[in-house]
Amino acid sequence: MARLTIRQIEEKLNSIDIQDDPFILSIQNDDRKGVQQLLNKWHSRQLLQKKAYEKHIEMIQYENKYRSQGFRFIAGIDEVGRGPLAGPVVAAAVILPESFFLPGLDDSKKISEQKRNEFYEEIQAKAVAISIGIIEPEEIDRINIYEATKKAMLSAIEGLNPKPDFLLVDAVKLVTPYPLDAIIKGDGKSISIAAASIIAKVTRDRMMAEIATTCPQYGFGQNMGYGTKEHLEAIKIHGITPHHRKSFAPVKDYVTENK
């Protein structure tokens, strides 16, 4: 019987996800370089999928723990934007269905912009509920960034529908009507917090890109308001905008010097 072409083998491999599939065993001794390259790629893909599944199992431990105690609507809460010199702090609250599975989902800081945007759409499509809390720079200056962070989180929680019955929060201890677990580095340990991390990050990045269209000299679309060299130089040349946090150095120093 004629051997399959390399193209035919590639098509067949794309439909196989079992290590000991007879077809995998049958081509292991094929002496064609192209076949062995395809086989190596298939094994690499399988390894990545295995690691993604293992990470998923690790990331649902908190959700499983509290579901086993009778909680149904478990919300993950996270924020982005504590450190920038400009722009809002944004928090997200996300309730995921128990069956939710998104291979590769992790702390948003560990994921590329392209992948974050893909995950954002997946989460939006599949979540039970999503809510956003936003605190603008003027209020951050008035109440301080830590209080603003908590207020953004509480606003996000308040906007959830259905209401949560348990909260998984990234590090911050909140006073709420709901029981909660504040998890250190929770965006890398809980799938719900990781989902909230993605929603908050993409939401804020898009807001900063929009702000950048009105004051492009600051590079907000690239630096997201953080104190990069380009951003600091722009402040020296052009001054500050209503989007800057006047209580944050060196913006604070600029305000003092130019009173």
What tens-digit pLDDT sequence spans the chain (259 residues)? 468 999 999 999 999 988 889 999 889 989 999 999 999 999 999 888 888 889 999 999 999 999 999 999 999 999 999 999 999 999 999 999 999 999 989 888 889 999 999 999 999 999 999 999 999 999 999 999 999 999 999 999 999 999 999 999 999 999 999 999 999 999 999 999 999 999 999 999 999 999 999 999 999 999 999 999 999 999 999 999 999 999 999 999 888 888 7
Q: Is 20 annotated as a binding residue?
A: no
Peptide bond into 242 cis (omega under 30): no
The predicted pLDDT at position 33 comes to 94
3-state SS record for 94-136: EECCCCCCCCCCCCHHHCCHHHHHHHHHHHHHHCCEEEEEEEC
CATH number for the domain whose boundaries are 71-254 = 3.30.420.10
pLDDT digits (tens, 9 = 90+) for 190-221: 999 999 999 999 999 999 999 999 999 999 99
d(CA 202, CA 209): 10
Q: Is 31 annotated as a binding residue?
A: no
CB 108 within 8 A of CB 211: no
Going from N- to C-terminal start, the domains of the chain cover 6-57, 71-254
- Copy the structure tokens of residue 158: 């308040």
Rounded to the nearest 10°, the torsion over CA 242, 84, 197, 190 is -140
CB 82 within 8 A of CB 149: yes
Q: Is 113 annotated as a binding residue?
A: no
Using only C-alpha atoms, the chain has a radius of gyration, in whole angstroms, of 23
